[in-house]
């Protein structure tokens, strides 16, 4: 989806609001519902800014306890639009081609990148017991706290050393 900003390119104070939805169900299986994108391109004293928010309800799975839970993910994008790039290092500048750029592609990239961050059902999710696989959020499991055999060997070595 191209956004043409030619009409505000040289008109300080003008803006172009936009709202559209993206289908990312092919890219990520969590995105079964369309991603809503809303924002605007503005000319602020001759400088073009682009701000938007992309959000969608996800079928998320907690990275720690593997539980499925509903999550509304929102990713924000803040960019500058320019007809030519003078600062190659700045990847927040979007180069315009003939007064337009691919807004759909940009929103897609921003949202997919945000999906890469860790997903937890809650900040203090206790996760699963590495031994029996029980969800420790539901209570402690019956596994006994057996020391790791490697630590037992180390403990014995330390004991022998201090005994000599
Ligand atoms: Zn969890
Ligand atoms: Zn356990």
pLDDT digits (tens, 9 = 90+) for 61-94: 999 999 999 999 999 999 999 998 776 667 789 9
Cα(142) to centroid(ligand 2), Å: 6
Residues 92 and 78 sit within 8 Å (Cβ to Cβ): yes
Number of domains in the chain: 2
For residue 74, which of 98, 94, 55 has the smallest C-alpha distance?
Answer: 55
Cα(119) to centroid(ligand 1), Å: 8
Residues 118 and 94 both lie in one domain: yes
Mean pLDDT taken over the chain? 90
Cα(155) to centroid(ligand 2), Å: 24
Give residue 87's pLDDT: 67
Mean pLDDT of 14-38: 95
Closest ligand to C-alpha of residue 126 is 1
Place of tokens 């330390």: 158
For residue 74, which of 26, 15, 117, 28 has the smallest C-alpha distance?
Answer: 117
Residues 134 and 116 both lie in one domain: no
DSSP structure class, residue 147: P
Token couple for 11: 């008109």
Residues 74 and 60 both lie in one domain: yes
Residues 61 and 10 both lie in one domain: yes
pLDDT tens-digit profile of 88-117?
A: 667 789 999 999 999 999 999 999 999 888
Give residue 145's pLDDT: 64
Residues 104 and 149 both lie in one domain: no
Residues 107 and 35 sit within 8 Å (Cβ to Cβ): yes
Give residue 158's pLDDT: 79
Residues 98 and 36 both lie in one domain: yes
pTM, rounded to two decimals:
0.76
Residues 97 and 85 both lie in one domain: yes
- Surrounding ion ligand 1 within 5 Å at CB are 62, 64-65, 121, 125
Is the pLDDT confidence value at 45 over 90? Answer: yes
Cα(147) to centroid(ligand 2), Å: 13
Mean pLDDT of 27-53: 95
For residue 22, what are the domain limits?
Answer: 2-125
Backbone angles phi, psi at 145, to 5 degrees: -75, 85
CA angle at residue 42 from 36 to 46, to 5 degrees? 160
Cα(164) to centroid(ligand 2), Å: 38
Cα(129) to centroid(ligand 2), Å: 5
The DSSP bridge partners found for residue 95 are 82
For residue 120, which of 75, 60, 76, 74 has the smallest C-alpha distance?
Answer: 60
Reported confidence tier of residue 161, pLDDT bands at 50, 70, 90 = confident
- How long is the chain? 164
Is the pLDDT confidence value at 164 over 60? Answer: no
Cα(109) to centroid(ligand 1), Å: 26
Residues 119 and 135 both lie in one domain: no
- Range list of H helices, the chain: 103-115, 149-163
């Amino acid at each position: 989806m191209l956004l043409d900003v030619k009409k505000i390119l040289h008109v300080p104070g003008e803006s172009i609001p936009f709202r559209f939805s993206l289908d990312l169900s092919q890219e990520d299986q969590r995105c079964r519902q369309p991603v809503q994108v809303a924002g605007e391109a503005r000319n602020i004293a001759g400088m073009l800014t682009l701000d938007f928010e992309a959000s969608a309800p996800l079928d998320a799975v907690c990275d720690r306890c593997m539980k499925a839970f509903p999550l509304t993910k929102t990713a924000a994008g803040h960019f500058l639009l320019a007809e030519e790039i003078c600062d190659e290092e700045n990847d927040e500048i979007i180069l315009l081609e003939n007064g337009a750029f691919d807004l759909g592609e940009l929103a897609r990239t921003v949202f997919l990148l945000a999906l890469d961050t860790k997903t937890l059902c809650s900040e203090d999710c206790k996760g699963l017991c590495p031994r029996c696989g029980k969800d420790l959020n539901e209570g402690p499991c019956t596994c006994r706290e057996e020391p790791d055999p490697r630590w037992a060997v180390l403990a014995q070595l330390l004991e022998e050393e201090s005994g000599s």
